[in-house]
A and B are shown apart, each in its own frame.
Chain A
Amino acid sequence: MTRFVRSWLGVAATTATLVFGGGQAFAQKELVFGLQCDRTGPTATVGVNLCPGYHDYIGLVNSKGGVEGFKIKVIEIDNEYKVPPAMEAHERFKKEGAVLEGLYGTPQTAALNKKLEEDKILGTSPGFGTAASADGKRFPYTFPIAASYWSQAGAAVAFAKERLGGSLKGKKIAYIFYDNPAGKEPLPILEDLAKDEGFEMRTFAVPAPGVEMGAQILDITGRFKPDFVIAHLFGRAPSVAIKELKGKGFPLSKVVAFVWGSAEADIIAAGGMGAAEGYNTIQFAGVGKDFPVLKDIEAMYKAQGKAAPKEMDSTVYYNRGVLIAALHVEAVKNAIKAKNGAAPTPEEVKKGMEAIKGFTLGGLVPPMEITPADHEGGGWVQIWTVKGGKLVKSKDWFQGYRPLIQKHLDADAKKS
């Protein structure tokens, strides 16, 4: 059969399923995953590297015979970081019989929380959504599966404490953030920590779109003169912050950035890896190419006679895509095993996700433990630092001030 004929058969088949509605794919031992992405909207720089990572890992699993004999089919929908298309995407995934879906974007996650619960399909929101959604009792079908902004704030302060010689008493910390809900979310944690650890904290809001922050940086370096800077910025803002801080002569080794300001692209846009020596970044997935799974993906491409995709060089986002895909596959694997090899329902996949423990993928995934109560998996992060033109691991997986985060989660649960 030529490729042409095959494609037209495909058209006919799809049209048929569209006409007759909700064709189920269980007969051919296939599972459907839904993936929302943003390749064209304001966060496209993340999406174009993260989503290929997701597809490549799924491709790798399929090339090895699938997960427990089931092939995985991924439906990707670009929501352009807009909310209505996210709802449309969710309904499409549901129609195609998806057993789980990957969400993309904070407002999109907020808008789908309720729908996911009603439809009983789990959605993962690593680095998106709210810190409170780590609470599996309140948001049963939303899975952050990565350190929330609260956990990142705890980790940032813990890292600052370590760098400043083990005590923060009398020290000054500046928190520079993008002025939106996600930017403000860590404030309660930082305020509590300032009280507990006895440091002075001042906050500096950067208004959207975050490309102009000369005044804030001048305020930080000229007037406040902090011992450490915690930066929580998105989009173009991180590279501007690096450039401005460096321009004012502030040592970048005393700066730590949250997860969306910590990709190679941000650092390169600020003038190249060499110029950002010492810049610290928080990561929820391993960085670099030194992981067996990435070698396997390269080998898979080689076996097909192709070069490894260029997205692999953007290791921060690419590896996050691999992490999301790996956790999805692991959840499904748990669910299939629990059912002795039969195709799981979305609810069983949710239970499978809540059983993930000790799955590290050679160090790319943190030693997380997802439970019915904790959908964040513990809030593990690593710190990677720019050294000699590349990102180097400077602190292995750790949790910053976990008891305090837990206290806030409990308090937040009582409020609602």
Chain B
Amino acid sequence: MFHREAGIFKTTYAADAALYPLPIAKWTIAALALIFVVLIPLTVHEYYLSILNLIFIAIVGALGLNILVGYTGQISIGHAAFMSVGAYTAANLAVKLGLPFWITLPAGGLMAAAIGVVVGMPSLRIKGLYLAIATLAGQLIIEWTINRVPAISGGAQASIEVDRPSLFGFSFNTQGSLYFFLLFFAVLAIVATLNLARSRIGRAFVAVRDQDIAAEIIGINIYRYKLLAFAISSFYAGVCGVLYTYYFGIANYEQFQLIVSIDYLAMIIIGGLGSVLGSIFGAIFVTLLPIVIRLFMEDVGSLFFTQAEMANVISGLRLGVFGGLIIFFLIVEPEGLNRLWRNVRSYFRVWPFSY
């Protein structure tokens, strides 16, 4: 964030690893909390809250994938399948047993984690592209299973309707109330990942990513940590799937197909691999950019195009500009938006005395 750090010296490891590196950071967090908890819900129209809600869910999923791909260096194209595991677990528990969301949500996450460990098993023997194909197989097998087993999918439609989440009799059934519901879990996921990254486990993940043989020599059980990375990542994905289920009021496997896995990979690559802020930037970028391009074109496009052309132009341009911007950002800064942000920050840190 924008604050100066002159006169601050870190003398212990604990201080270096602290969540708030500077005292002023606490104020920044307090200000952010005020904005997101009070200011935005009070002032912003419901439509914009609905966009924020989609971003919150995407953040949870992107964080999970970043733990696996960014921190541990294990590629996965099966992220959406783990979401569907969480979604159907929660939906079945909620409908068949009538359990509330605070049980179904962790249950969905745990089930996804269990399946994730199984799908992650090949990572013990293979890496890189090979692992990508193995997780792709996981994605297809899970999709097929859900489509074909009525006990999981709830019948030919493969969709299970769930009621809105409720807590002490209060039902989260508007975009406004769902905003707080989803904000809570997004913040929880962010804080948990920040803490994970600076813990022994997080450092072990990074060691496995950077050089697994070296990691093994310094005493890291790489099998254990690779599977743990799959479990944690899939847990996030499962929770993300449960959040989608409650947000839409339905678990439907067509929401979690291969293309969604690719979308999430795009998010973390654009945002920045191996960083929490990068996951957030990526989730915001991928969710928001098409909307912004459309709103912009609806206003400005009428200068150049007739109404009939506009619909096609907007759709086409959205894809074109979206792809173009991804390429542009990755050429300017291959390490993603997070690095770009850090560059900007470090420039202003010494500004105007940048010599």
Contact = CB atoms under 8 A, between A and B. Distances in A.
A115 B311 contact: no
B151 interface: no
Given A40-B319, A87-B54, A115 B249 contact: yes
Interface stretch (B97-105, B211-219, B270-278, B290-298): B290-298
Contact of A78 (B46, B250, B259, B311): B311
Nearest to B53: A87
Closest 7 CB pairs of A and B: A114-B249, A107-B254, A91-B50, A39-B315, A111-B248, A95-B47, A21-B45
Contacts of B300: 7, 11
Given A10-B299, A84-B54, A91-B50, A181 B159 contact: yes
B21 interface: no
B135 interface: no
Contacts of A92: 47
Interface string B29-60: 00000000000000001110011001001100
A140 interface: no
A243 B45 CA distance: 52
A309 to B, nearest CB: 7
Contacts of A181: 147, 156-159, 253-254
Given A88-B54, A180-B254, A181-B159, 11 more contacts: A40-B318, A40-B319, A78-B314, A84-B54, A94-B46, A94-B47, A95-B47, A106-B254, A114-B249, A115-B249, A416-B161
Interface stretch (A47-55, A255-263, A351-359): A47-55
Contacts of B298: 14
Contact of B255 (A48, A76, A95, A111): A111
Nearest to A14: B299
A52 B318 contact: no
A112 to B, nearest CB: 8
Interface of A: 3-4, 7, 10-11, 14-15, 18, 21-22, 37, 39-40, 48, 51-52, 55, 59, 76-78, 80, 82-85, 87-88, 91-92, 94-95, 106-107, 110-115, 118, 130, 132, 179-181, 184-185, 187-188, 309, 416
Nearest to A6: B302
20 contacts: A4-B303, A21-B45, A37-B311, A39-B316, A40-B315, A40-B316, A40-B318, A59-B308, A78-B314, A78-B315, A78-B318, A84-B58, A85-B290, A88-B291, A110-B250, A110-B254, A111-B248, A114-B250, A115-B248, A180-B147
A114 B173 CA distance: 10
B18 to A, nearest CB: 36
Given A37-B311, A180-B147, A95 B46 contact: yes
B252 interface: yes
* A4, A78, A82, A113 pick with most chain B CB within 10 angstroms: A78
Interface in B247-268: 247-250, 252-255, 259-260
A111 B250 contact: yes
Given A111-B252, A180-B147, A181-B159, A48 B312 contact: yes
Contacts of B159: 110, 130, 181
Nearest to A44: B315
B47 A91 contact: yes
Contacts of A48: 312
B193 interface: no
Nearest to B43: A21
Interface string B50-87: 11001001100000000000000000000000000000
Contacts of B250: 110-111, 113-114
Q: Is the interface of B mostly helix, strand, loop or mixed?
A: helix
Contact of A15 (B299, B307, B319): B299
Nearest to B47: A95
Q: Is the interface of A mostly helix, strand, loop or mixed?
A: helix
Interface of B: 45-47, 50-51, 54, 57-58, 147, 156-159, 161, 164, 173-175, 244, 247-250, 252-255, 259-260, 287, 290-291, 294-295, 298-300, 302-303, 307-308, 311-312, 314-316, 318-319
B353 to A, nearest CB: 39
A181 B46 CA distance: 32
A85 B158 CA distance: 21
Nearest to A90: B50
B303 A7 contact: yes
Nearest to A52: B308
B156 A114 contact: no
Contacts of B51: 88, 91
Given A76-B311, A88-B54, A11 B290 contact: no
A94 B49 CA distance: 13
Given A39-B312, A110-B252, A188 B173 contact: no
A69 to B, nearest CB: 21
Contact of A114 (B157, B248, B302, B312): B248
A181 B148 CA distance: 9
A219 B51 CA distance: 48
B173 to A, nearest CB: 6
A21 B244 CA distance: 26
* A37, A107, A180 pick with most chain B CB within 10 angstroms: A107
Nearest to A56: B308
Contacts of A51: 311
A92 B45 CA distance: 10
A232 to B, nearest CB: 13
Contacts of A118: 173-174
Contacts of A14: 298-299
Contacts of A110: 157, 159, 248, 250, 252, 254
